[in-house]
Amino acid sequence: MIYLFFALWTATAAAAFFARSRRTVHLLCTLHFTVHAAFAAMLLGGGLYGTSSGGFFTFDTAGTFFYLLMAVVATFVALHSERYLRDDDLKTYRVYFALLMMLTTAITGVYFADNMAVAWILMEATTLSAAGIIYHRRSEASLEATWKYLFVCSTGIAIAYLGILMLSAAVQNQSLDYAALRTMVADGNPLYLKTAFLLILTGYSCKMEIFPLYTIGVDANFAAPAPASALISTGLVNAGFLAIFRIYRLFAASEVFDWVRHVMILIGVLSLAVGALFLRRTNNYKRFLSYSTVENMGIAAIGLGVGGIGAWAAILHVACHTLIKSSLFLQMAVVRQIYNGYRINRIGDYININRIGAIGMIVGMVAVLAFPPSPLFVSELMILSQTLADGAWWLAAVIVLLLCIVIYSICYRIIKLCYQPNQDELHLSKIDSRLSYSALTLLAAALVAGFWQPEPLRRIIDLIANM
């Protein structure tokens, strides 16, 4: 069944490349996301959930959960992109939307892939699609970011492939299905298993945007159009997270699992430290949001590392981060239209220029800071609680210290955006309050989760954490 959907998604994307009018592109994009809606409906109530397709895809809880999040975000991205690119010529317009549709298709494949080789292939497909979007502006900076993204991501994917081969050798199994590997990993060679995990984690870190290959995600989000950055920093990051998480759960039955958890803690702390440091130093709001993603994914990695309720909290953290960060990047698209840039030291007075957008930025920044009622407060509190329960006081102290730096940096930046005197030329005619209002709906959904985690959501996260 999924192959039919892949064919429809690919066909609409390919047709958009050759569309002769904006209207045609718009219709194809509408059709594309309508098919996504139909697919989501089949997952939720059409009997597709819990089944397998072709031996390579399984519609499990984890894939379904993250797919639904991505589908919602991608729809908002498409709607905002149409307005954001209204001044672009037809060629760049149609190429952008074609690549956007291809990217959502590739990400969907990663979510549901039940075979490590298939997930690897589709992860590389996301690289090619995202690279085209990053180069959208055809500037020197975007060209540099594109080449870096292609080189680093391709290198990372190659490293991950070596890890997959090493894992296959460790368990002496020719099948790369997760189910087959899960039954054999307990008897695997410990040295091979450790090497395999390090290689896969390093390789896929370029997608999850954690240490050591986090920088390429920051450059990509900086160069790409802001609406597309909302998808790259959430849907694509989640693909990296899910790929690493499946490997993490695969190793749960092995004797090296404690070692795996310690590695995740180390990587998480390093990512959190890098994010905190560069949040303090950067002078660009898009880079600022990108480093915030590095920081938040570091927290998620720490959650997986501490285990217990921390793993549960990591999944909640990633899910709610998806809604909050996509809302902020969509709001940042409005900022660029007004100021024609993101320079922290020059743009300001946003509270008087676009009050609704400023409120969205302030509330979003408060949410990403994990202040109550942010759902990130709930997840971070759970992770800290598990850390203290394990007696790791030093780790809790490091996390709190780094989070204090993050809080200071974000508060300082959002105050400057809203209240410092503006020094750049304004384009007030491009203010569209509808875009700010629509981005607020994603943020509102996240804030609801801060107040109330309904039983179905808890049950879903339970299933993912214990898969």
Q: 445 or 183: which carries more pLDDT confidence?
A: 445
Which of the residue ranges 25-34, 39-48, 146-155, 421-430 would you say has the lowest mean pLDDT? 421-430
CA 18 – CA 94 distance, rounded (Å): 8
Please indicate, yes or no, if residue 392 is contained in any of the structural domains: yes
Please indicate, yes or no, if residue 111 is contained in any of the structural domains: no
Read off the pLDDT of each residue in 285-291 and give the average, rounded to a whole number: 95
Read off the pLDDT of each residue in 98-115 and give the average, rounded to a whole number: 97
Query: How many domains are contained in the chain?
Result: 1
How confident is the model over 299-346, as pLDDT tens digits? 999 999 999 999 999 999 999 999 999 999 999 999 999 998 899 989
For 189, other C-beta atoms within 10 Å of its C-beta total: 15
Q: Is the pLDDT of residue 265 over 80?
A: yes
Q: Is the pLDDT of residue 173 over 80?
A: no
Please indicate, yes or no, if residue 342 is contained in any of the structural domains: yes
CA 42 – CA 88 distance, rounded (Å): 36
Instruction: Count how many Cα atoms sit within 13 Å of the Cα of residue 162 in the half-sphere of its side chain.
Output: 12
Structure tokens at 173: 């199994």
For 391, other C-beta atoms within 10 Å of its C-beta total: 9
pLDDT recorded at residue 186: 85
Q: What percent of the chain has pLDDT over 90?
A: 84
Please indicate, yes or no, if residue 15 is contained in any of the structural domains: no
Q: How many helices (DSSP H) and strands (DSSP E) are in the chain?
A: 20, 2
User: Where residue 391 falls among pLDDT bands split at 50, 70, 90?
Assistant: very high
Q: Mean pLDDT in the chain?
A: 94
How far, rounded to the nearest angstrom, does the alpha carbon of residue 251 sit from its chain's CA centroid?
23
Torsions phi, psi for 372 (to 5 deg): -55, 140
pLDDT recorded at residue 12: 97
Pair 148, 206: CB distance under 8 Å: no
The residue length of the chain stands at 467
How confident is the model over 200-218, as pLDDT tens digits? 999 999 999 999 999 999 9
Please indicate, yes or no, if residue 210 is contained in any of the structural domains: no
How confident is the model over 4-53, as pLDDT tens digits? 999 999 999 999 999 999 999 999 999 999 999 999 999 998 889 989 88
The pTM (predicted TM-score) of the whole model is 0.97
Give residue 342's domain range. Answer: 259-467
Pair 64, 43: CB distance under 8 Å: yes
Please indicate, yes or no, if residue 341 is contained in any of the structural domains: yes
Please indicate, yes or no, if residue 395 is contained in any of the structural domains: yes
Question: Judging by beta carbons within 10 Å of its beta carbon (0-12, 13-18, 19+), is residue 311 exposed, middle or buried?
Answer: buried
What is the 3-class SS of 218-263, one letter each residue? HHHHHHCCHHHHHHHHHHHHHHHHHHHHHHHHHHHHCCCHHHHHHH
Please indicate, yes or no, if residue 372 is contained in any of the structural domains: yes
Helix (H), strand (E) at residue 71 = helix 61-84
Read off the pLDDT of each residue in 338-356 and give the average, rounded to a whole number: 92
Structure tokens at 424: 């750049």
